[in-house]
Structure 1
Amino acid sequence: MPRVRSGLARTAAVLAGGLAMVVLAASPAMADTSQSSASALQISLLGGGLASSGTASATNDGTTESISGNQNPPLGVLGGQTVITAGVLGQSVRAFNDGTSAACAGVLGTGGSITIGPGGSCLVTPGAGVTLTLGTSGLATISLVADAIYSSCTATSSPSATGTASLVNARIVSTILGIETTLLALPVNPAPNTGLSIPGLIDLTLNGQSSSGVGQLTVTALNLTALGGALAGVTIGTSSCGANAVAPPIPVIPLAGAPLALGLGALVAGTTGGISLLRRRRAAARS
């Protein structure tokens, strides 16, 4: 009799172990999602209208990265505007499988480039310099001149997000009869939401930063607003990262496996319960 009891006990243990394996196999797998977007340049044209480089976007569902939009749009996408006639538009995006994302966006001189490197870093070659002609004031032509103006951001699913802006050799200049005068030199690494102005002419916001919540950040390298509508309005280098998050659970095995787990559980419970009842009846018969 002890041998029978021992065999039944082993059977119950095996069945219980099988149930545990099924439960473990049905445990959900977790995957982090990520997203980012970037837009190099938008111009509010004199007399109305908008010229835009468009937007590049990246998303990742935890396993696959999808990118839409042009990351290196030609100047031709801006149409027949005359604000910028030479230079490079860059709007690079990445969304990685580990819940991190990155974006870089801005304008650079001819020959320049902007890409996302390892770890989401923004890699920039400034180029030969770029000029954005904003309009005229009296006899003067007012322009924005720089080697590169761009923003960058990164985000994680922890969640967290950071961003910055860089203005390389950037300045507002006035040109009269071919003679250029600097009206305002712009800082290379401005603090977030730095405001500057040329009284009676233009207002600028450098490294403009805003967030819709924890783990999300939008950075705009430069936003220029003309006073009195005399000049074109310009927005350069808008990068957005996050919010990135842990994705909903994804079952490793189909839900059809649940009845198997329940069946094994019922079998274990029925077997052990039957063994206990049989033991009590035999003990009562012997007494």
Structure 2
Amino acid sequence: MRKLGPGIARTAAVLAGGLAMVVVAASPAMADTSQSTASALQINLVGGGLASSGSASATNDGTTESISGNTNPPLSVLGGQTVITAGVLGQAVRAFNDGTSAACAGVLGSAGAITIGAGGVCTATQGSEVSLNLGTNGLATISLVADAVYASCTATSSPSATGSASLVNARIVSTLLGVSTTLLSLPANPAPNTGLSVAGLLNLTLNGQSSPTAGQLNVTALSLSALGGTLAEVTIGSATCGPNAVAPPIPVIPLAGAPIALGLSALAASTGGVLLHRRRRARNRS
């Protein structure tokens, strides 16, 4: 009797093993998602109304970054308010493919800029001095004056998040008959949730931080609340990073095709077994 060729059995075994490896390779491919949001300035106007710079947002599904909103809004978005009449609004955002994200937002003097570089590092290029007119106290004008005021944050999918606030040469100033007096000098790198006040006028929170969920951080460089009704309320530099996370698994073989792949693997293995059995029987008869 003619013997079965060893190549047939060997081919069947290789086919079974190969299909099994394809099914193993169908184990999920993982991708990290990331997100961030930034808003430069919000003003609650005296007498009611809100002036806002809006916000910019970045998201990443693990392969593609999408950015929406205006990262460098003009002052005209604030409408006819008179709190800030010169300067730069910055609200930079990034969401990277590796599950990290960054945001940076605030106000700077004219010709200044806020950017996010490699590794999510926020950089503020200072311009001239910026002044926010907060209102009047008697005959004196109360202002916030600074070279730059901004917040920054970063987050990872581990999950973790960090943030900080930078107030460059920032101070509360009273101006009467052309003479300016510093009422309060603000720290350049305040600790989280630092509270300060100007007696009878203002309450301030510097580097306000909150974490609504694990791996998410909200940072506000400066929020200022008036004690009376003649001063504006201002929020400068709000940045939010995260939560970033490992995305749902994406199978190499679509789930609908997995049973077919498994069936083919089982069929190949079964065929290989039958051929090997026939080969042994043929040997024994010869």
Query: What do the CA deviations read for 1:4-49 (whole angstroms, capped 9, x no partner)?
Result: 5955652442132122232134222111111000000000000011
Question: How far did residue 169 of structure 1 move?
Answer: 0.4
TM-score (norm 1): 0.91
Preserved contact between residue 41 and residue 234 of structure 1 (Cα < 8 Å): yes
Residue 27 (structure 1) aligns with:
27
Residue 51 (structure 1) aligns with:
51
Q: Which sections of structure 2, spanning at least 5 residues, go unmatched?
A: none
Question: How far did residue 158 of structure 1 move?
Answer: 1.3
Alignment of 1:1-287 (within 5 A): 4=4, 10-271=10-271, 274=274
Question: How far did residue 276 of structure 1 move?
Answer: 8.4
| Overall identity of the aligned pairs, in % | 78
What's the secondary structure of 1:19's corresponding residue?
A: helix
Preserved contact between residue 87 and residue 108 of structure 2 (Cα < 8 Å): yes
Alpha-carbon distance in structure 2 between the residues aligned to 1:218 and 1:259: 45
Alpha-carbon spacing, 1:38–1:165, altered in 2? closer, same or farther (3 Å): same
- Greater mean deviation of Cα atoms: 26-35 or 78-87: 26-35
Question: How far did residue 258 of structure 1 move?
Answer: 2.1
Query: What do the CA deviations read for 1:198-224 (whole angstroms, capped 9, x no partner)?
Result: 121110000000011121101000000
The one-letter code of the counterpart of 2:240 is S
Query: What do the CA deviations read for 1:207-250 (whole angstroms, capped 9, x no partner)?
Result: 00001112110100000000032310000000000011111111
What's the secondary structure of 1:14's corresponding residue?
A: helix
Question: How far did residue 131 of structure 1 move?
Answer: 0.5
TM-score (norm 2): 0.92
Alpha-carbon distance in structure 1 between the residues aligned to 2:157 and 2:20: 31
RMSD value, Cα: 2.4
Preserved contact between residue 32 and residue 98 of structure 1 (Cα < 8 Å): yes
Preserved contact between residue 17 and residue 265 of structure 2 (Cα < 8 Å): no
What's the secondary structure of 2:63's corresponding residue?
A: coil
Q: Which sections of structure 1, spanning at least 5 residues, go unmatched?
A: none
Preserved contact between residue 150 and residue 221 of structure 2 (Cα < 8 Å): yes
Query: What do the CA deviations read for 1:237-270 (whole angstroms, capped 9, x no partner)?
Result: 0000001111111122334532431222331453
Alpha-carbon distance in structure 1 between the residues aligned to 2:221 and 2:159: 23
Alpha-carbon distance in structure 2 between the residues aligned to 1:280 and 1:9: 11
What's the secondary structure of 1:29's corresponding residue?
A: coil
Preserved contact between residue 15 and residue 264 of structure 1 (Cα < 8 Å): no
Preserved contact between residue 16 and residue 272 of structure 2 (Cα < 8 Å): no
Alpha-carbon distance in structure 2 between the residues aligned to 1:97 and 1:281: 58
Alpha-carbon distance in structure 2 between the residues aligned to 1:8 and 1:240: 63
What's the secondary structure of 1:223's corresponding residue?
A: strand
Query: What do the CA deviations read for 1:144-175 (whole angstroms, capped 9, x no partner)?
Result: 00000000011111111110000000000111
Preserved contact between residue 204 and residue 222 of structure 1 (Cα < 8 Å): yes
Alpha-carbon distance in structure 2 between the residues aligned to 1:148 and 1:60: 29
Question: How far did residue 129 of structure 1 move?
Answer: 0.5
Preserved contact between residue 18 and residue 264 of structure 1 (Cα < 8 Å): no
Preserved contact between residue 43 and residue 232 of structure 1 (Cα < 8 Å): yes
What's the secondary structure of 1:228's corresponding residue?
A: coil
What's the secondary structure of 1:270's corresponding residue?
A: helix
Alpha-carbon distance in structure 1 between the residues aligned to 2:280 and 2:118: 70
Alpha-carbon distance in structure 2 between the residues aligned to 1:276 and 1:23: 24
Alpha-carbon spacing, 1:244–1:214, altered in 2? closer, same or farther (3 Å): same
Query: What do the CA deviations read for 1:115-143 (whole angstroms, capped 9, x no partner)?
Result: 11111111111211011010111111111
Question: How far did residue 278 of structure 1 move?
Answer: 6.7
